[in-house]
A and B are shown apart, each in its own frame.
Chain A
Amino acid sequence: MNYPLDPYWMAALKALLVVVGLLTAFAFMTLIERRLLARFQIRMGPNRVGPLGLFQPIADAIKSIFKEDLVVERADKVIFVLAPLIGVVFALLAFGAIPFGPPGSFFGFQPWVLNLDLGLLYLFAVSEMAIYGIFLAGWASGSKYSLLGSLRSSASLISYELGLGIALLSPVLLVGSLNLNDIVNWQQEHGWLALYAFPAFLVYMIAALAEAARTPFDLPEAEQELVGGYHTEYSSIKWALFQMTEYIHFITASALIPTLFLGGWTMPFWNVPYLWMFLKIAFFLFFFIWIRATWFRLRYDQLLRFGWGFLFPVALVWFLVTALVVALDLPRSYLLYLSLATLLVLLGAVMYSPKPVRKGGGA
């Protein structure tokens, strides 16, 4: 859909706002995550700097800027310096396409930076480019652990990205557009896409965790095995840039899930555009931190098997079902019933607990 374009100065201003906003959000997400994780573990978390520890990000920033910036002797110097920049630039690029409200609601301008007809494809491409940052960092470090970490990230990329990409196809087929505004508008008209494509929603959520390298899938870092993985050799501000990349991915994923599947800025009742978008983002940020506080990291081969053996087939089957409904022009409500059925199956699987099988001897 075409909306009036903003003047260039406004677009630039909004781009700046997105970047500054994301960087601020990153700084405070580190604090929020540490505080929340601490509370999940019945600790208090950082609370010494300023009231409630609110100035902790500032202290961290000052610390990471003034620490010694090492470039390892065996590193490929140019790429070593370039890698974190690549990561952070592509992470920042992705956010602009996400709409935060109805057209013209940002002081008379559009509440998004980019309104691309290829929106989803653009997001997909740009956020995957950030893997180059991780991969090149590991490769240029000249260290075994870094190389292992970056190899892991590229291998897991291939395995979860299939599921992720195909899970995105179902909403695209239903809406008939890659434009994020169209997707949100369609949902305002017909209801949330999570209801029409529940399996795809689930697969996308899991894959988004993997894409942001969050806990069940944080193999590229794997503190305990790889000493930090791809950023083992990085220090000071370069290391901070990697943290930034990771958190911005995290925030972008938390913003994309509601945009694609949960109605974006719209809400069936009491529709306040910006508020609901922020609430939905906050919910997913909390949810992912909650998962990090609870679950364990999958082994490397387990992630590959999970990606190829579960995410990919589920997404593919649902894509075929959606394609069938769309091609034969069947009523879309079939998908609602099917989604409900898969939800029930999932609930059944959660309720079902087989007796533990005792391995080895014993009566």
Chain B
Amino acid sequence: MTLKALAQSLGITLKYLFSKPVTVPYPDAPVALMPRFHGRHVLTRHPNGLEKCIGCSLCAAACPAYAIYVEPAENDPEHPVSAGERYAKVYEINMLRCIFCGLCEEACPTGAIVLGYDFEMADYQYSDLIYGKEDMLVDVVGTKPQRREAKMTGKAVKPGYVVPYVRPELEGFKAPTEGGKR
């Protein structure tokens, strides 16, 4: 340890004093997430508006945490819900069990279920943590508690993240991108 080293160390800390803190003041400022972050699932649609999910239950079979429940039903040929023969009448994911591993996404033959970005899912009741189709289809913004709060306050859902870009698998999903409009 020399005097020179001591003097240099003072210089280093002084440099840090004038640099921007690395802290993300999270609830006030959004967290920067990676484009392939594993968050709340999104059930995507084809460009013509039909659901991609065909109710095959492969996701449920692949799920290591047994978090997914799918109940299929036949499509009405006049007014189809999905692009296949059948569609998911009930599609539920238990967010308390889910480990966000993404195996459901890998197992899905139609790319219907994709892991999105929402992560603020903390809630008070078990029943509120079971997400159905109405909570996961692409047009849904935010998680259940976020949407509940938005409904109570009358303000728009404020997501706690930004991503550099939305990955193509999540087509149609609207997420705040960096530099873009939040």
Contact = CB atoms under 8 A, between A and B. Distances in A.
A294 B5 contact: no
A328 interface: no
Interface stretch (B13-21, B93-101, B134-142, B168-176): B13-21
A35 to B, nearest CB: 11
B10 A290 contact: yes
A70 interface: no
Chain A at the B interface: mostly helix, strand, loop or mixed?
A: helix
Given A40-B16, A42-B16, A353-B4, 18 more contacts: A36-B17, A38-B21, A39-B16, A42-B19, A42-B22, A42-B23, A43-B21, A44-B25, A290-B14, A290-B17, A294-B9, A294-B10, A350-B4, A351-B4, A352-B2, A352-B3, A353-B2, A353-B5
Interface residues of B, number: 19
A354 B14 CA distance: 25
B13 A42 contact: no
Chain B at the A interface: mostly helix, strand, loop or mixed?
A: helix
Contacts, number: 48
Interface in A314-359: 346, 349-354
Contacts of B14: 290
**In the complex, the 3 A-B pairs of residues with the closest C-beta atoms, listed nearest first:** A353-B4, A294-B13, A44-B23
A129 interface: no
Interface string B159-180: 0000000000000000000000
A350 B7 contact: yes
Given A38-B21, A42-B21, A43-B23, A295 B16 contact: no
Interface in A77-114: none
15 contacts: A39-B17, A39-B21, A40-B17, A41-B16, A42-B19, A42-B20, A42-B21, A43-B22, A44-B25, A47-B25, A293-B17, A294-B12, A353-B4, A353-B5, A354-B2
A313 B6 CA distance: 22
Nearest to A216: B6
Contacts of B9: 294-295
Interface in A25-40: 36, 38-40
Interface in A10-65: 36, 38-44, 47
Nearest to A41: B16
B102 to A, nearest CB: 33
A39 to B, nearest CB: 5
B21 to A, nearest CB: 5
A294 B4 CA distance: 14
Contacts of A349: 3
Most buried by B among A38, A350, A351: A350
A164 B13 CA distance: 28
A354 B2 CA distance: 8
Contacts of B19: 42
Contacts of B7: 350
Most buried by A among B5, B17, B20, B25: B17
B16 A350 contact: no
Contacts of A38: 21
